[in-house]
Structure 1
Amino acid sequence: MNIINKLTLRHLKENKRRTLVTITGVIISVSMIMAVATLGVSFLDIMKRQSIADNGEWHVQYQNVSPDQIEAIANDEDTGSLLLSNELGYAKLDGAKVEDKPYLFIKEYNEEGLKQFPIELSKGRLPSDEQEVVISEQIANDAGVQYKIGDQIKLAIGSRMMEGESEPLGQNDSLQRDGEGIKERLEVNSMETFTVTGIIETPSWEPAWSPGYTVLGYIDKGSLNKSDMVDAIVVLDKVNSSVFEHAGKLAKENGIGKVAFNDELLRYYGVTDNDNLRFTLFSLLGIIMAVIIIGSVSLIYNAFAISVSERSRHLGMLSSVGATKKQKRNSVFFEGMVIGIISIPLGLLAGALGIGATFWFINTYIDGALGISERLQVVVTPSTVLVSCLISSATIFISTYMPARKASKISAIDAIRQTQDVKLTGKTVKTSKLVRKLFGLEAEIGLKNLKRNKRRYHATIFSLVISIVLFLSVSFFTDNLKKSAVMSQEGTNFDISVSANTGDTEQLEDLVQLENITAYSVQKSLNPTALIDKDKFPQELKDMIERDNIPLDNGRYQYYVNLHGLDEQSFRDFAKKAGAELEMFEDPEKPTAIVIDQISYQDPTTTKFIEAKSIVTEPGDVLDLIFTNYDTEKSKPLGSFTIGAMTDQVPMGIRTAMMGGLDVIVPMKTMDALMDDEMKKEVRSQLYMNSTDPMETQKALEEVVPSNLYIYNVYQDRQQEEQLILFLSVFTYGFIALISLISIANIFNTISTSISLRKREFAMLKSVGMTPKGFNKMINYESIFYGVKSLLFGLPISIGVMYLIHRSVGETFDYGFELPWIDILFVIAAIFIIVSSAMLYSIGKVKKQNIIEGLKQENV
């Protein structure tokens, strides 16, 4: 080690406090980078594992392929494992107690498929030949039909068909009913006899509304005839973005008609065929990583800049004894390397441990609240560590580059005279006379100090501005992330629905007395239309009309209307949320409605998730609704509705219309009063419920619900939605905590080090008679000036960054740009609190010093 590096180490040891502050700042910076990288990898890992646990591990599905095509798929270079699947069909379940589940659904897999898909064996073994099956335990538990291992079952297997339809119904299609009973029929294709070899848990992929209990059989690839058609499901050796193009090419070359992809799992590998979504992900990632690196560089740069300023006399002395520019520059780089060698390993460990502690806490909550099968695990990959090290090393290098260049230019005379940081002219330190009149001499001295020490002042302002930008950008990003997640989900706000194809609600109202029901809403719905004038079109509708060249009816557009009539209590609750006066809705002869004017939907053309106005209107305007009988193609007025209120709130069970549609909410008695017999035939009724135990409530409903009513349990879907939002919250709030930590450390580091370097100045002011009260006044004014100046720069820059984030999200999710006013007010208050706290903390360290010792102070 050369003499310059030895002197640098000695200087670091002598200035222990500043060195410790710098090391702490770098550790925080590195731990943030490591934590963010680990959090992202771990988040994707659990989403992959949960997707595999729910739907199996597969990537591409080639549907209805022959044995020759199977061979071509198996020989493809990208194919890792080949699973075979076949939906054999449905068979009547004799003696079934559940009217909505009268079938057995027989599905077959080859050996690899039985291993790869999430099949939980309770008893016995999996099938090993084509005459063996395993059955769902739900057949005995719910349907009351007892099968034992070793039993032989003879099944008439066929397809579920509707009159006039050529395509058979599947497991995602519920049992088809109308007012007279079941509308579908079973067309038997074959008679098969199977031996039961095992009992399995109800598969996670079986929908709650499916009409058939799952039975799994076996496919033998070698016994397939040339005419047999099955599905070939591929697990890829390596997942990359070429999967869509490659699979399409393979299908085209071999005459395969249809290819499907496991979009959910592929998305967690970072692979998606949605270019808008890919652009959104990468642009957001770029913006956030830029914010992180800028914040880290700011923290570390300020530490080294102040270090060089403090060491200027030391570096000047080295120049006087022959040190070259390169040696002085390298001494700063060497200091950065020493700091990095100490800080980077500690930062990596701190980041991983911090995420581990967070996951431990969150997993306890997840287990109690959602009961999901997978848990968050800390995933630290070599690439994560390597990327974190490279980014941290690059950050330290960038942070030391400018101070190193400055160090190389310090001459011996300038350094010894201490003129490189403070170059005074009368104009430089000139202040307004108004400052002294308003705030006193102490405030003027404080302002002159800021002007005199411009480098330190600018470094502090820069730190504060970066902190503001970091916090507001990340909080805006996280708010948009969660908002986008909510928009991309169905957003159902109920657990169970019971529907009828008639407008009769008496049967539905009888069901609300069941146990465990916490809230409910009985509704009637009808779909009339309304001709709306051009002046009430939102901009999005104008754009759609122009883009699709939609003709207008005398300047009016025909909206489709979702007219919903709510029971009395449900409407009272909804009117209260909408801020409407109940009295205006009481007279059915003067129909008054609440219009939902804020809609959220996915545009089928652009695939964007859009949030927009549905109509530009005001309370007091009138909607003329038109009923059309599509069998006779005749229309007639339904009624004129006065708009009593506009709202963005949505009643239980209702999903908003798309652009060109309108949701109109009225009391049920108003709806009944306006409809004639012809209209009543088109009315449908629904009951939406929330329950403390949705699965038990479903069982209770199945025992009492008549066959002409349809039960739909969305509890499991809502679980997945809540799980996703929870995981996003963990990610976002953890990220905000890390950003806040680095911002506060940045401010404290800059201000406390700057104050420490002013010990001699404070001692001088005390020596000429400045009182403690005057001293505090000076410091308070400096704090206010720091805060105001940083907000003047930080807020506009933050708004610019937030707009960039909004534009990047706008490629996939379309909603208006709104400033987060609560976050902005929080930042304004926090800046003054943090600056004042940092000032008071730092001043507390120097307040009690001896004046003589302060004047002699060389090191901190």
Structure 2
Amino acid sequence: MRILHQVTLENLKKNKVRTLVTIIGIILSVALFTAVTSSVFSLQTYVLEVIKEQAGNYHGGVYHVSSKELEQVVPHEKVDHAVLLQNLGYAKVEGIKNQGKPYIYVGAMGEGFEETMPVHLTDGRFPENSQELLLPVHLGDNGGLRLQLGQELSLSLGQRIIGEDTILDQAAAFQETETLLGAKDRTYVVVGFYERPAFESYVAPGYTALTLTDGTGPDSFQAYLRVDPIKDTYAFMEASFPSREITYNHDLLRYTGNSNENTLNAVLYSMVGILSLIIMFGSVSLIYNAFSISISERTKQYGLLKSIGATRKQIRNSVFFEAVLLSAVGIPLGILLGITGIGLTFFFSKELFMTLWQQGVQAELTLVLGKGPLVTAAMLGLLTVLISAYVPAKKAA
């Protein structure tokens, strides 16, 4: 077998032009596979970054929960990360014109809240203490109440109650029969404005204003969790908060493949499959011809090898050895070419992708290299070469 390998190597050296053409064919094939797999992986990563920026980097949340309940849930091994927003209360404010949203709701941000949740400044700065307030811009645009930076705002904050003792939270729409109980006066200084938050429900009766906690206030919190593994999010949240109003980051769960609706992923994977088949078909045609010519030129040589005892299996394996040898050169170069090509494509088209989103986003489309996409491209390239060599190998044997 070693003699057959040496003969194969000598033939490759002797026919340098044909060897080079075959390697170029493999390089182009693998470059296309790499471009397809890496571009899809990069697009998935980009979409996830946009979702985290716009909707928040959490999996599931709850609107109204006590500190005692959180003490039982947050330390759980499946909770990878948690941020809290203390529900300080609601205040009716003169000047708000939206009758279905008559309140300013004030929440006190816990540690890491503004990094995990979509709190995007439009003017001013974040609060630095419990006397400073960050207001949403839609308080003016939608509510008709426009305040200025540095302006003082006095609020009488209470809890929304309907009936005798039913507490209403931000997930419950405004009801004419509800009342505010336990109101306490607080005075804030407006230090900034931010975009309408995605964690504010569209039926929420209060415009979400943010401050920092002073360690006092109601024992009521919004909690936003990241669950590990992410596929357990729905079951974990329902088991942990069986009697609470739960919200989910549906887009994030959907695009990570952890939702009942995986349309985007299905489309992307189908696209990868179809494009890979097209690339494979075209590549097989090219590489097959190179192997066929090689085998035709060496017919007498194979006959001589058979006459001195070489078996059909050994001759067939020598052809596959040639295929693997050429792949060892062509596949790495093809991956490098594919990475370079798709990297340049993304560099020149990233502005186009950023304009596809309704709101401006900071996330940029860049080439993201992953082990899975690169290995997939390499395996597809190797499979293509082996398929191309299969028929010539049978003829040679």
Q: TM-score if structure 2 supplies the norm length? A: 0.79
| 1:321 Cα deviation after fit | 4.7
State the distance in 2 between where 1:322 and 1:298 align.
32
- In structure 2, the gaps of 5 or more residues are none
Q: Does the C-alpha gap of structure 1 residues 13 and 152 become closer, same or farther in structure 2, counting only changes over 3 Å?
A: same
State the distance in 2 between where 1:301 and 1:250 align.
59
State the distance in 1 between where 2:205 and 2:243 align.
30
**1:665-703 CA distance string (max 9 Å, x none):** xxxxxxxxxxxxxxxxxxxxxxxxxxxxxxxxxxxxxxx
Q: Does the C-alpha gap of structure 1 residues 46 and 110 become closer, same or farther in structure 2, counting only changes over 3 Å?
A: same
| 1:157 Cα deviation after fit | 4.5
State the distance in 2 between where 1:306 and 1:403 align.
9
User: 8 Å contact 1:28–1:347 — kept in the other structure?
Assistant: yes
Determine if the alignment matches structure 1 residue 232 to structure 2 residue 223.
yes
Q: Which residue of 2 aligns with 1:27?
A: 27
State the distance in 1 between where 2:34 and 2:321 align.
24
Paired residue type of 1:389: A
State the distance in 1 between where 2:109 and 2:33 align.
45
Paired residue type of 2:227: L
Q: Which residue of 1 aligns with 2:211?
A: 217
SS in structure 1 at match of 2:360: coil
**1:45-72 CA distance string (max 9 Å, x none):** 1111111111110012234323232112
State the distance in 1 between where 2:239 and 2:206 align.
36
Q: Which residue of 2 aligns with 1:126?
A: 127
Q: Which residue of 2 aligns with 1:304?
A: 291
State the distance in 2 between where 1:85 and 1:324 align.
76
**1:639-687 CA distance string (max 9 Å, x none):** xxxxxxxxxxxxxxxxxxxxxxxxxxxxxxxxxxxxxxxxxxxxxxxxx
Paired residue type of 2:373: T
| 1:368 Cα deviation after fit | 5.8
**1:527-555 CA distance string (max 9 Å, x none):** xxxxxxxxxxxxxxxxxxxxxxxxxxxxx
Determine if the alignment matches structure 1 residue 203 to structure 2 residue 196.
yes
State the distance in 2 between where 1:360 and 1:184 align.
54
Determine if the alignment matches structure 1 residue 355 to structure 2 residue 348.
no
How do 1:398-413 and structure 2 match up within 5 A? Answer: 398-407=387-396, 409=397
Determine if the alignment matches structure 1 residue 391 to structure 2 residue 393.
no
Paired residue type of 1:203: R
**1:342-396 CA distance string (max 9 Å, x none):** 2111211222222222222322334567563122111101232223223333443
Q: Does the C-alpha gap of structure 1 residues 292 and 242 become closer, same or farther in structure 2, counting only changes over 3 Å?
A: farther
- In structure 1, the gaps of 5 or more residues are 177-182, 410-860
State the distance in 2 between where 1:145 and 1:200 align.
10
State the distance in 2 between where 1:280 and 1:369 align.
21
How do 1:212-361 and structure 2 match up within 5 A? Answer: 213-219=207-213, 228-239=219-230, 241-251=231-241, 255-274=242-261, 284=270, 288=274, 291=277, 295=281, 298-299=284-285, 300-361=287-348
Paired residue type of 2:233: V
How do 1:607-622 and structure 2 match up within 5 A? Answer: none
| 1:31 Cα deviation after fit | 1.8
Q: Does the C-alpha gap of structure 1 residues 344 and 263 become closer, same or farther in structure 2, counting only changes over 3 Å?
A: same
Q: Which residue of 2 aligns with 1:180?
A: none
Paired residue type of 1:245: A
| 1:247 Cα deviation after fit | 3.5
Determine if the alignment matches structure 1 residue 146 to structure 2 residue 124.
no
State the distance in 2 between where 1:211 and 1:68 align.
26
State the distance in 1 between where 2:127 and 2:335 align.
46
State the distance in 1 between where 2:268 and 2:136 align.
43
User: 8 Å contact 1:106–1:214 — kept in the other structure?
Assistant: yes
Q: Percent identical across equivalent pairs?
A: 29
User: 8 Å contact 1:171–1:212 — kept in the other structure?
Assistant: no
**1:454-502 CA distance string (max 9 Å, x none):** xxxxxxxxxxxxxxxxxxxxxxxxxxxxxxxxxxxxxxxxxxxxxxxxx
State the distance in 2 between where 1:258 and 1:184 align.
21
| 1:76 Cα deviation after fit | 1.2
Which of 367, 378, 381 is the equivalent residue of 2:370?
A: 381
Q: Which residue of 2 aligns with 1:188?
A: 180
| 1:258 Cα deviation after fit | 4.2
**1:781-817 CA distance string (max 9 Å, x none):** xxxxxxxxxxxxxxxxxxxxxxxxxxxxxxxxxxxxx
SS in structure 2 at match of 1:111: coil
Q: Which residue of 2 aligns with 1:9?
A: 9
Q: Which moved more, 1:75-84 or 1:387-396?
A: 387-396
Paired residue type of 1:391: L
| 1:263 Cα deviation after fit | 1.5
Q: Does the C-alpha gap of structure 1 residues 208 and 60 become closer, same or farther in structure 2, counting only changes over 3 Å?
A: closer
Q: Which residue of 2 aligns with 1:424?
A: none
User: 8 Å contact 1:244–1:273 — kept in the other structure?
Assistant: no
SS in structure 1 at match of 2:77: coil
- Which structure has the larger Rg? 1
Q: Does the C-alpha gap of structure 1 residues 249 and 116 become closer, same or farther in structure 2, counting only changes over 3 Å?
A: same
User: 8 Å contact 2:60–2:246 — kept in the other structure?
Assistant: yes
Q: Does the C-alpha gap of structure 1 residues 89 and 403 become closer, same or farther in structure 2, counting only changes over 3 Å?
A: farther
**1:822-852 CA distance string (max 9 Å, x none):** xxxxxxxxxxxxxxxxxxxxxxxxxxxxxxx
SS in structure 2 at match of 1:242: helix
Q: Which moved more, 1:133-142 or 1:393-402?
A: 133-142
Larger RCO of the pair (alpha carbons < 8 Å, separation 6+): 2
**1:329-352 CA distance string (max 9 Å, x none):** 232122112221221112112222
Paired residue type of 2:35: A
SS in structure 2 at match of 1:217: strand
Q: Does the C-alpha gap of structure 1 residues 297 and 3 become closer, same or farther in structure 2, counting only changes over 3 Å?
A: same
SS in structure 1 at match of 2:195: coil
Which of 347, 363, 372 is the equivalent residue of 2:360?
A: 372
User: 8 Å contact 1:34–1:384 — kept in the other structure?
Assistant: yes
Q: TM-score if structure 1 supplies the norm length? A: 0.40
State the distance in 1 between where 2:347 and 2:16 align.
36
Structural RMSD (CA): 4.0
**1:549-578 CA distance string (max 9 Å, x none):** xxxxxxxxxxxxxxxxxxxxxxxxxxxxxx
- Corresponding residue pairs, total: 387
User: 8 Å contact 2:61–2:224 — kept in the other structure?
Assistant: yes
